[in-house]
A = this chain, B = another copy of it.
Amino acid sequence: MDDCDLETMMRFAERLADAARAETLPRWRTGCAAADKNEGGAWDPVTEADREAERAMRRLIEAEFPDHGIQGEEFPEKKGKGRWSWSLDPVDGTRAFVCGLPSWTTLIALLDEGQPVLGVIDAAPLDERYVGPGGDRKTSGCTTLAEARLSTTDPYLFSAAETQAWDRVRQRVRTTRYGLDAYGYARVAAGSLDLVIEAGLKPHDYNALIPVVCAAGGAIGNWEGGEDFSGGRVIAAATPGLYRAALEAMRS
């Protein structure tokens, strides 16, 4: 595949999402008192779901596209032989998973020379799937902070300076919600949230979000107004105007 047939690749990405669901869903809400990653020995359904879902997706990619690179959360990077690679986060929102909450997702992105050109946010427990390009999602069209529904996963993850910027936006919006991980970006694409502001994201956290938000007409960029996400600071907005309004509020 030198020319990217994105429709074919989207069908394949959805097969990856299906394969991940088969590994994650049966392990969710089992062993509710199970241990987290940092405790040795105990049975750990989230780590098992993470690893087995990533393994299942890697197997499919290696069988179908052996030259493609793979960057996953759980295993070492596989270097590819061309421009294409996959970014995989089998369980985004492991804390939600561990807490029996239905907001965790599986994130899949296809990268062309490192740039995400296709994304899937698969909200398996809710049986909702968000894709880009394509799909029929549309953002709310919201352009002002006063009307915006804002979200971040955990306000305690911000540094002191980031907290100041965050607070300047939070104090001007209509309402704020927490705890959503990538599902917040999915709901921006679906038009029921308007703005997500986060820091500390890794490539497997943000790669899939970009095509999904863009396909729905939203804007996604970093905290400086650019498109380099390697600093992990991401803003997704229903419109470019709302993105600019958030940037301005954060600076002032």
Q: Which residues of A are at the interface with B, using a C-beta cutoff of 8 A?
A: 29, 32-33, 36, 95-96, 98-103, 126, 140-142, 147, 149, 151, 154-156, 170, 174-180, 187, 190-193
Contacts and interface: CB of A to CB of B under 8 A. Distances in A.
A187 B192 CA distance: 24
Determine which residue in A29, A99, A149, A154 has the highest number of CB atoms from chain B within 10 A of its CB, and name it: A99
7 contacts: A29-B192, A33-B141, A98-B149, A99-B151, A99-B187, A99-B192, A178-B179
A101 B95 CA distance: 17
A42 to B, nearest CB: 11
Given A154-B176, A179-B180, A100 B192 contact: yes
B32 A98 contact: no
A191 B33 contact: yes
B32 A99 contact: no
> Which A-B residue pairs are the 9 nearest by beta carbons?
A100-B192, A178-B178, A179-B179, A178-B179, A32-B191, A33-B140, A32-B192, A99-B149, A95-B175
B29 A100 contact: no
Nearest to A193: B99
Contact of A177 (B95, B151, B190, B191): B95
A97 to B, nearest CB: 10
Given A100-B193, A155-B178, 18 more contacts: A32-B140, A32-B192, A33-B140, A33-B141, A33-B142, A36-B175, A95-B177, A98-B149, A98-B192, A99-B177, A99-B187, A99-B193, A100-B187, A100-B190, A100-B192, A101-B177, A101-B187, A177-B179
